Chain A
């Protein structure tokens, strides 16, 4: 009976089985260190007053605030810089820099804060005890603590009270060959200030761009080798 059904399936749509196989392979593939995901942000293209990336991130991950800015989570935010000497004003998005040598990973007592093989720095919320030491340790204020009970979480972005969280480079999208929500929204609203890609792939747009155009890391002196680089800062 089952065999007949499967045979019938093939008769109707020969391509379906292959599709299932292909996506099943993508699902089963583990993150590997042959990839290093990175982000290049061009601050000169970042528009003052635009916060599409912030809105996109909040929507994607269900970061509904409680009108309590001091304790509400923020995974990406717009930062305004004003050079004290030149008075030049720049705006740029600040998020987890996904360092190669993350201080947050070093200090986490349980190992919940960890770096995946492909360079994405994450919090394993099953192991996080909510001590907030990683928040103390992060030079970029990338992480937030969940200060209240949550409901209506996005299924692909579990988050809960008493654990620490931060930008995941939209790992649930990246694992399925899509780009992070912030990058997508920056592109779709016309500014295209963000390029996401594999730093280790010499042919990727991001790798080609950073080879030719100047860019730098924030607090490069700390020696963390961040995956996020900025132009125009």
Chain B
């Protein structure tokens, strides 16, 4: 069993440079958060019209991806796909670290981050947000237990059961994350049951893409090539997930377009929203959807790993654009308090909310992502998460 996995203890200058860069990014993120907390949020681009900004885009992206990152391990334990068994440890590790990265961003962006202990001890059980706190914390514990069954030979027989629990839990968790928006009756862009399944498919797409990218990157660090059989299979999965995400997006918009009531918000996102429209069509649909699908389709014939890696990168970029349009676009579109009337006030009623992200917010968001990557690489130095070349060779 021990020959199946190996430590990643890089010695090259590139490896140490990478760790150093990630540490610096994480430190800058922490400093930015401290500045935001001590000065107050007026130093950011967030305001009373758009209360959740770039930090939340990154946080939601990381959390949603974390859920999807576990899919590789789920396929191994729950769906008994032997190819993925050597990848299950890495999948679980990335799941935990990306979740932690996202949560760190959320906590640091709170108006009162020092009141985290209040959030952990006072629960309004009607709040999907409160449920998410239970779900996230529970998920970390479950996936940690899952890892224990993978590492500890005597407990290996439980990995199926714990894996099943982890998979069901992440479906509930991602449903909960999507419902954070889906349950909001106030906003034209939210208040839709489709948000939950959309987020589940987004998680599968983003998670698979990030897994491919991380695996490829780490193997390059170890001067190994990513195994063709893995990248081809994951590439095909990625294509299915991206197509499904596009399908649900299409359903969401077509349904909205059928209702006169929603024409305002649809016109905003699809036509007249400026940055939001560009991010939707170019970012989400083209870069995050159509182009990766074309690349992955080509890959069926040319079989190049590079193509899958490129497609994965595009899915990640498009995914960030998608989350931006959902979170920020959804807030920017004005509330419809008096249907049938044009509304104006000194508090920006009736206007598209203005939001110009600040450097601080990017620092915090990127810092959280860097933190997740840093923790993952660090963990891989300490315990054997990475599959060895021979573990896949004979499959």
Residue pair A77, B345 in contact (C-beta under 8 Å): yes
Q: Which residues does chain A contribute within 8 Å of B110, judged by CB atoms? A: 129-131, 162
Residue B133 is within 8 A (CB to CB) of chain A in the complex: yes
Q: Which residues does chain A contribute within 8 Å of B342, judged by CB atoms? A: 81-82, 84
**Contacts A71-B48, A106-B127, A131-B111: A233 and B42 contacting too (C-beta < 8 A)?**
no
Residue pair A145, B130 in contact (C-beta under 8 Å): no
Residue pair A79, B184 in contact (C-beta under 8 Å): no
**Which residues of B142-200 have CB atoms within 8 Å of chain A's CB atoms?**
180, 183-187
**Contacts A80-B345, A163-B112: A132 and B47 contacting too (C-beta < 8 A)?**
no
Q: CB-defined interface of A82-101 with B at 8 Å, one 1/0 digit per residue? A: 11110000000010000000
Residue B214 is within 8 A (CB to CB) of chain A in the complex: no
Min C-beta distance of A80 to chain B, whole Å:
5
The interface stretch among A26-34, A134-142, A186-194, A202-210 is A134-142
Residue pair A109, B42 in contact (C-beta under 8 Å): no
Contact of A146 among B40, B115, B132, B133 (CB under 8 A): B40
Residue A103 is within 8 A (CB to CB) of chain B in the complex: yes
Q: Which residues does chain A contribute within 8 Å of B186, judged by CB atoms? A: 103, 136-139, 222
Residue pair A141, B183 in contact (C-beta under 8 Å): no
Residue pair A109, B115 in contact (C-beta under 8 Å): no
Min C-beta distance of A142 to chain B, whole Å:
10
Residue pair A135, B51 in contact (C-beta under 8 Å): yes
Q: Which residues does chain B contribute within 8 Å of A139, judged by CB atoms? A: 185-186, 335, 337
The interface stretch among B239-247, B288-296, B308-316, B346-354 is B346-354
Residue pair B51, A132 in contact (C-beta under 8 Å): yes
Q: Which residues does chain B contribute within 8 Å of A130, judged by CB atoms? A: 110-112, 115
Q: How many angstroms between the C-alpha atoms of A84 and B185 in the bound complex?
A: 24
Interface size on A, residues (CB 8 A): 55
Residue pair B48, A144 in contact (C-beta under 8 Å): yes
Q: Which residues does chain B contribute within 8 Å of A70, judged by CB atoms? A: 47-49, 348, 354
Return the chain A residue nearest B130 by Cβ.
A109
Q: How many angstroms between the C-alpha atoms of A146 and B118 in the bound complex?
A: 19
**Contacts A103-B184, A130-B111: A109 and B40 contacting too (C-beta < 8 A)?**
no
Q: Which residues does chain B contribute within 8 Å of A154, judged by CB atoms? A: none
Residue pair B349, A148 in contact (C-beta under 8 Å): no
**Which residues of B326-380 have CB atoms within 8 Å of chain A's CB atoms?**
331, 335, 337-338, 340-349, 354
Contact of B341 among A81, A107, A109 (CB under 8 A): A81
Q: Which residues does chain A contribute within 8 Å of B116, judged by CB atoms? A: 129
Nearest 10 CB-CB pairs, A to B?
A130-B111, A162-B111, A148-B40, A139-B186, A147-B42, A111-B124, A70-B47, A132-B51, A109-B129, A109-B130
Given contacts A108-B129, A136-B186, 18 further A-B contacts (CB under 8 A): A69-B348, A70-B47, A70-B49, A71-B47, A82-B343, A84-B342, A109-B132, A109-B133, A110-B119, A130-B115, A131-B110, A132-B111, A137-B184, A139-B186, A140-B335, A141-B335, A149-B40, A162-B41
Interface residues of B (CB under 8 A from A): 37, 39-42, 47-49, 51-52, 110-113, 115-116, 118-119, 122-124, 126-130, 132-133, 180, 183-187, 331, 335, 337-338, 340-349, 354
